Amino acid sequence: MATPGSEATWLWIGTIGMILGTVYFGVRGRGSADPEQQSYYIITTLIPAIAAAAYLAMATGWGVISMPLSGTGGVNIYWARYADWLLTTPLLIIDLTLVAGARKETIYRLLVIDIIMILGGLAGSIMQQGAVVRIACWAVSTAAFIVLLYYLLGELSERARNRSTATGTVFKRLRNITLGLWALYPIVWILGTGGGFGIITITTEIMLYVMLDIGTKVGFGAVLLESQDVLQAADRPSSASELKSH
């Protein structure tokens, strides 16, 4: 456990933002007349709820530890951030794959790739052997992201377009939000304390992570749940039922 410094303000902003997102999605889910859409509401509400718990842990110091890193003296490692991502990014991928009507094999493959991406970033943050090792872990994480990019731009986009024009349009919007914002995470990581370079201050780093997290979790969810017609259409094929039965 360590005490956050000036970045604590942004951690509390992140906590409040995620709580508001959770309440909003929860209220919308309770008002949904279509029980077939409940899986989307549950998944999408869980995402900011998990993030809210992680931000609360970081803001109060329970989700951060101080570690010595070669060349930096010592930094605060916000491990709760990686716990958050390890749980929420698979849920985001599940939302995307359900909309696209992905095969269950593809869903499982993407979840494994996603976990590798998150664990690569975590490993790079806690490695004490120096910048070269940390950057190598960052490269593994970034490579996994590129593989996800390949699937989202290729197979999943094609499947979404084949379902209907509206589904293809909504999936493209969700995909672009996800890929556009996710692509900024490794940049923030390498510029901040994760990569050990500290080119930006810890307060700036946390501020950027908060903004990205709110966009990828609350912003993504708002766009998804506004697309009622697409959600209804997405429930008819077997993709959602396959996921539930395996």
In a domain, 150, yes or no: yes
Quote the pTM value: 0.87
Residue indicated by tokens 């709110």: 214
In a domain, 207, yes or no: yes
Distance CA 108, CA 203 (A): 36
Q: Which residues pair with 77 in a beta bridge?
A: 65
Domain limits for position 46: 8-240
Q: What is the CA radius of gyration of the chain?
A: 18
Q: How many CA atoms lie within 13 A of 180 on its CB side?
A: 11
In a domain, 159, yes or no: yes
User: Total structural domains in the chain?
Assistant: 1
Instruction: Output the pLDDT for position 133.
Output: 82
Question: Are 172 and 54 in contact, with CB atoms under 8 Å apart?
Answer: no
Distance CA 140, CA 158 (A): 27
The helix (H) or strand (E) run that includes residue 211 is helix 202-214
In a domain, 246, yes or no: no
In a domain, 245, yes or no: no
Question: Are 63 and 78 in contact, with CB atoms under 8 Å apart?
Answer: yes
The helix (H) or strand (E) run that includes residue 150 is helix 131-151
In a domain, 37, yes or no: yes
CATH number at residue 72: 1.20.1070.10
Would you write out the chain's pLDDT as a tens digit for each of its 246 residues?
A: 667 778 899 999 999 999 999 999 998 877 665 666 778 889 999 999 999 999 999 999 999 888 766 555 567 788 999 999 999 999 999 999 999 999 999 999 999 999 999 999 898 888 766 678 888 998 999 999 999 999 999 999 999 999 888 889 999 999 999 999 999 999 998 898 766 677 898 899 999 999 999 999 999 999 998 886 666 666 554 444 444 444
In a domain, 1, yes or no: no
